[in-house]
Structure 1
Amino acid sequence: MKYHIVQLGCQMNISDGERVQKVLDEMGFEPTDREEEANLLGVIACSVRQKAIDKVYSRIQKWNKWKNKKNLITFVTGCVLPADREKFLKQFDLVFAMNELPDLPEMIHQYGMVTPAGLQSLDKGLQEMELPEAETRNEAAFRLETAVLPGHEEKLRHPEKGIEDFWHITPKYGSGWEAFIPIQNGCNKFCTYCAVPYTRGREVSRPSGEILNELRDLVEKGYKSITLLGQNVNSYGLDKKGEEVSFAGLLRMIGEFGNQRKEKFWVYFTSPHPCDMTDEVIEVIAQYPCLAKQIHLPIQSGDDAMLVRMNRKHTV
């Protein structure tokens, strides 16, 4: 059986998609570039951008028409606002947050997706269920899913919970020379225009040992361009309250690792926040050859009054 995934949004969504693909591969599914060949169709969505959400609706309308011709299950995950999630539940078979990805095999098995006969069995079972008035097949399936996975609603309400298990999944990297390493998830800034705190939850930093292990594995495999990812990377470690290193400390550890290697590689990061940028970070970047000599710093506006309205907490 085959799967096809549509990835929308930023580098973090691309990185998330690599872990989704790994889970599906380990379940025995095969990827296909042709969505019409797939038995499992998914979207890594982005509620931060309305254009991306519009693309999701366009896809699912087409996919749901295909259900009349073949056995098919659809899912959506990624950065999804609660309001969008409620709408998606009426059209997709599975809606889950990234912190639930380790549970995806169980979710799919609940749908009977082991063989085409299993899918037919699921459809028959859903058809025989006594549904409340106006409840769709997708909503009925969601009730079935939450009944079997009692932690589902809790993880939806708190996207930061369980993210550590998600990080333990080894990605299926999409390139042989460039890779992303998530170091942090969520954001505490609450800029007025941004949906991330509501889709990703509060900031959670990944243990530095895990980050270095993933980096070491990539370098040994010949990767040359590696980007550290987070919604606010330079707040890395602040949620640990002194139990972990700072972002500058993490970069220093990476720099020391780079000095010990014969291979040449370069480490980038995105996205930082101006409020959390420090002189120490800049000094560390200048000190170590493997740390790329560039900084993407999203100031967002050249007008202080606009920055106040945006709740950016910094001036020009």
Structure 2
Amino acid sequence: MSQGVRTRPEGSGRPLSEAYDTALLDLDGVVYTGGKAIAHAVDSLASAREGGMRLAYVTNNALRTPDVVAGHLTELGIPTGADDVITSAQAVARLVGEQVPAGSRVLVIGGEGLRVALRERGLVPVESADDDPVAVVQGYGGPDLTWSRLAEASYAVARGVPWFASNTDLTIPSGRGIAPGNGAAVEVVRIATGAEPQVAGKPLPPMHRETVIRTGAERPLVVGDRLDTDIEGAFNGGVDSLLVLTGVTDGARLLAAPPRHRPTFVDADLRGLLGGQPEVAGEGGRFRCGGWTASAGREELELDGDGKALDGLRALCAAAWTAAGNGACALDAGKALAKLGL
């Protein structure tokens, strides 16, 4: 990963699937949405895999086991083994296992994925604060998580039992829209107890460590749709990233990104793995990509030219990020993005 503050997306003369040995792919918003494969995902991943790139699927969702996730991907036409799936449940289970003895009881507030991961580390899942747990682990439990489960966590944490969370994503995408995520449930326990959990999932280092341990990646490329988990996780891990625009991040959020949320590369979807990335050239405060030229005015970002919308967005990123430096760009991007249809 390039050192210093990123001020523009990078170019690549080689297909990303050749420049990196392993793609660390987020799932929701990248590979599928609402359980259905995103356009071009299946064919793009097949081509990347045939070209020698290893594909690993990295998710903050601790509900499903790797076997279940792998089965779902295989049904979508993406052949996947359980060893190709890394979850925040596995990352938090390792974190707990490093701090408590094998065979310890752990109060589980979450789904089967969390229980399986804890057993893998030699820990014993229990259901009640009265079962003498030495730790509390909280992960996404699905839409049927009950208030009584959050109460059990609160009782144990209030007694001083160490508290761990698989992740703190406040929302999670569903087929019907955006739903509360594990972070929302963590907030309930935090409010009840005043305590703070140790967190394992993206964008924090335990998740990146778990991914590298399990994949053995030497030149990984993080591929995601969220700036505050996928891209920040890559930043924290010191590796390069590809943002795809098939999920929650739109052009305005990307342009306003602070340094830790700025991806190495930007593309429309997973077809971005299969080709190179255009260079963004800059001189005198004007940045060019393809047929577009972008600059930062006094109150707004300015864009002139014509061509591919993505090239215009890349040029705008350079103008916005350069103007913002270590901060977040506050210039109005509405007119410029409208020219691109974004």
TM-score, scaled to structure 1: 0.30
**Structure with greater strand percent:** 2
**Structure with greater helix percent:** 1
TM-score, scaled to structure 2: 0.28
**Could you say which structure has the greater relative contact order, defined with CA pairs below 8 angstroms and 6 or more residues apart?**
2
